[in-house]
Chain A
Amino acid sequence: MMRASLAVLSILVLSLTFGWAWAQDELVLEGVEPALSDTLPPDLIPPAPAAGLTAVDYVDNNDSGNKIDLSWTTSPDDGDGAADVTGYQVWRSETAAGPGDTLAFVAAGQAGYLDETAEPGTPYYYSVTAFDGTNHSDAVSFGPVAGARNWFTATRAAVLVLVSVFFGLVLVFTQLAERGAKLFVRRIPGLNAIEEAVGRATEMGRPVLYVPGIGEIDNIMTIASLTILSHVAKITARYETPLIVPTARAVVMSAAEEVVKEAYAEVGKPDAYNRDNIRYLSDAQFAFAGAVNGIMLREKPAANLYLGAFWAESLLLAETGFEAGAIQVAGTAMVSQLPFFVTACDYTLLGEELYAASAYLSREPKLLGGLKGSDWMKVVTIVLIAAGIIMNLVGADAFVEWFHTS
């Protein structure tokens, strides 16, 4: 049985093999032309090289020094002569010795290439060879050349102009404030609430909890929060109400210590300052939130102030404070967290009100200048939007496109 099966299998394999060979013969016999490369000897003649390679730092006022512009004269065999050039291979090396790495293949007929991958300031040597599909010509080389960073990016001129206008406004208003001009800033309702909250904590003989958010010290919200903390610390120092400041960042804790200590000294109560109340809890967001919740429940502050940069912990904090029965005032410019504070707190400083509050409370000329400057910058923005709409309507798109900075 086994032998019979093997015999059948062998016959099958042989039939298929002979059948395939017969089919190949039939193809030839039916006159199908073999490919040209099968009949002609291989091309051993390289094309004539390109000439006159130059490489210069690309200058359009917008690049960051990463562009080198290459140009060359095409090979005499490109289009004319043997007319067999299929393209050019561009090489780049950091030494004069060798062709280095392949940078790009450029199609025949093209006499230039823009290298956009250069490291600014690094000298490169470029080579270009013509290619006919089989052979490379001799290389034509150029170098060294290095890309230089531009000082000015023309496409971002709008940023420069508007930042300059903003700085100008801030400087003018800061000067005015320093010279004693009375700069009007409207009262922000949430600020009255802060004083009410501290007063209530004092009446109840319970501490005030001030959470400056979990942002780093480089976060502008944290900086604004520390200014408000100074104001709150002065009130608590006067009333001799304990002030607890839990922090999530070591540097913020250092800054908060400085701020509170100074505030206590300023109102003549340096001995009332308790360093242990400025606490570092944890950098981990939810560990911090859990620990602050613990403080709310165990030390029972009567007023919770959340002012600064908050993320997902905002609702956990505000909800626990609400459950604990504390009066709560919040303020943040984190748009995604404002809804939670609006829902769970008694008063909320919305967005820029946080910064305005710090200027309003401190009356510090620089902060006032910044606030007034940003106010009038809003007027500039409104005017520009209106102008943009009109320009769009009359078809002058160039005006709006000038603000296309990316």
Chain B
Amino acid sequence: MEFSTLIWTTIGVILTLCVYSFLYKDNPFYKFAEHLVVGASAGYYLVIYYYNFIDPNVVRPVFQLEHGGQAIALGGFEWWMALIPGLLGLLLYARFFPKIAWVGRWPLGIYVGGYAGLGISPVMQARVIDQMRAASSPLASIVGPGEVVDPFAAVTNTALGFVIFAVMTYFLLAKRHLGSRGIAAMIGVIAASAVVGYGGYVVLTALSAANVVSTTSILLVVGLLGTLAYFFFSLRHTGLLGGLARIGIVFLMVGFGASFGYTVMSRISLLIGRVGFLIDWIGMFSS
């Protein structure tokens, strides 16, 4: 093994342990590692930004008259397109001179306005229109065309959908109006919801071309509408809007829970990688 490999790996191990020492409490070792990484990254990014952005996009086109290997004519369109953003960037430093500090707002205004304008169309397409289109076809079948329906899957799909539907109807829409009228009222509302829901489901299935309509896809559309209602700020969340908003927040929280668990698992794999690094370092001495 190269001596230099051992040295750098050992430094990595020491810094890793310094960072982990934070788990006990703040201490000089953690402070050292923190300051080292902040300082090193600031210097690193300064160099990266210069060579990846300023040099190829401003300095070279303006002074060496080339961009990406293509010659740029002095005073030509491309030359101005390099010079003007460069000058706007320099205006950011106007804030160091109090008398002209206000000029520093120009580049910020252009930067923010430009990006906002460019972003509107793709956001409308990807986040609104595409999702709206997908939600407009909720009557998906639980099996593909020509496939045989598994009776167990069909029963599970239907039963699960209506248990969720009925319980949701009770707790989110009916409970507050019933007050404390006892368990009989609760069972009655849940049963009525299930019957009404099932009736609607049968009608939808008859109308759609799907063999067995997926109740989860219908629930997803209900969740989407509920979430939109939750983020409606122009009315107080009372009555039907309040009920829908409560459905929305339930869906949000279920989503957050799933996302939390998923991410924690990925963080655990990062920890495993780091512990593996420490074990490999110990192994370096035995090889």
- Whether A389 touches B34, Cβ cut-off 8 Å, given contacts A254-B108, A378-B228, is no
Complex-state Cα separation, A405 to B128, whole angstroms: 11
- Whether A162 touches B129, Cβ cut-off 8 Å, given contacts A284-B41, A338-B256, is yes
Whole-angstrom distance between the Cβ of B281 and the nearest chain A Cβ: 21
Complex-state Cα separation, A381 to B232, whole angstroms: 12
Looking at the complex, which one of A186, A220, A282, A351 makes contact with B38 (CB distance below 8 Å)? A282
Complex-state Cα separation, A20 to B234, whole angstroms: 92
- Whether A220 touches B116, Cβ cut-off 8 Å, given contacts A290-B34, A378-B228, A389-B138, is yes
Contact, CB under 8 Å: A382 / B228:
yes
Complex-state Cα separation, A282 to B48, whole angstroms: 13
Q: Which residues of A contact B130 (CB under 8 A)?
A: 403, 405-406
Answer whether residue A218 sits at the interface, using C-beta atoms and an 8 A cutoff. yes
Complex-state Cα separation, A200 to B283, whole angstroms: 52
Answer whether residue B64 sits at the interface, using C-beta atoms and an 8 A cutoff. no
Contact, CB under 8 Å: B111 / A388:
no
CB < 8 Å A-B pair total: 168
Contact, CB under 8 Å: A284 / B139:
no
Contact, CB under 8 Å: B38 / A291:
yes
* B contacts with A: majority SS: helix
* CB under 8 Å from chain B, chain A span 299-323: 315
Looking at the complex, which one of B119, B120, B136, B232 makes contact with A385 (CB distance below 8 Å)? B136
Answer whether residue B159 sits at the interface, using C-beta atoms and an 8 A cutoff. no
Answer whether residue A9 sits at the interface, using C-beta atoms and an 8 A cutoff. no
Complex-state Cα separation, A115 to B76, whole angstroms: 30
Answer whether residue A283 sits at the interface, using C-beta atoms and an 8 A cutoff. yes
Answer whether residue A72 sits at the interface, using C-beta atoms and an 8 A cutoff. no
Complex-state Cα separation, A400 to B131, whole angstroms: 11
- Whether A282 touches B41, Cβ cut-off 8 Å, given contacts A378-B232, A385-B135, is yes
Contact, CB under 8 Å: A385 / B224:
yes
Complex: chain A residue closest to B119, CB-CB: A220
Contact, CB under 8 Å: B26 / A382:
no
Looking at the complex, which one of A166, A342, A371, A384 makes contact with B256 (CB distance below 8 Å)? A342
Complex: chain B residue closest to A348, CB-CB: B256
Whole-angstrom distance between the Cβ of A380 and the nearest chain B Cβ: 10
Whole-angstrom distance between the Cβ of A55 and the nearest chain B Cβ: 26
Answer whether residue A258 sits at the interface, using C-beta atoms and an 8 A cutoff. yes
* CB under 8 Å from chain A, chain B span 199-232: 204, 207-208, 221, 224-225, 228, 231-232
Contact, CB under 8 Å: A389 / B116:
no
Complex-state Cα separation, A220 to B236, whole angstroms: 26
Complex-state Cα separation, A25 to B220, whole angstroms: 76
Contact, CB under 8 Å: A283 / B34:
no
- Whether A403 touches B129, Cβ cut-off 8 Å, given contacts A186-B235, A294-B34, A343-B260, is yes
Whole-angstrom distance between the Cβ of B116 and the nearest chain A Cβ: 7
Answer whether residue B257 sits at the interface, using C-beta atoms and an 8 A cutoff. yes
Complex-state Cα separation, A382 to B267, whole angstroms: 37
Answer whether residue B178 sits at the interface, using C-beta atoms and an 8 A cutoff. no
| Cβ contacts A324-359/B at 8 Å (1 or 0 each) | 000000000001101110110000001111001000
Complex-state Cα separation, A159 to B92, whole angstroms: 35
Whole-angstrom distance between the Cβ of B176 and the nearest chain A Cβ: 19
Answer whether residue A298 sits at the interface, using C-beta atoms and an 8 A cutoff. yes
Looking at the complex, which one of B45, B108, B137, B259 makes contact with A251 (CB distance below 8 Å)? B108
Contact, CB under 8 Å: B125 / A159:
yes
Q: Which residues of B contact A183 (CB under 8 A)?
A: 234
Complex-state Cα separation, A283 to B52, whole angstroms: 15
Closest 7 CB pairs of A and B: A388-B136, A218-B115, A284-B41, A339-B260, A339-B256, A287-B41, A297-B26
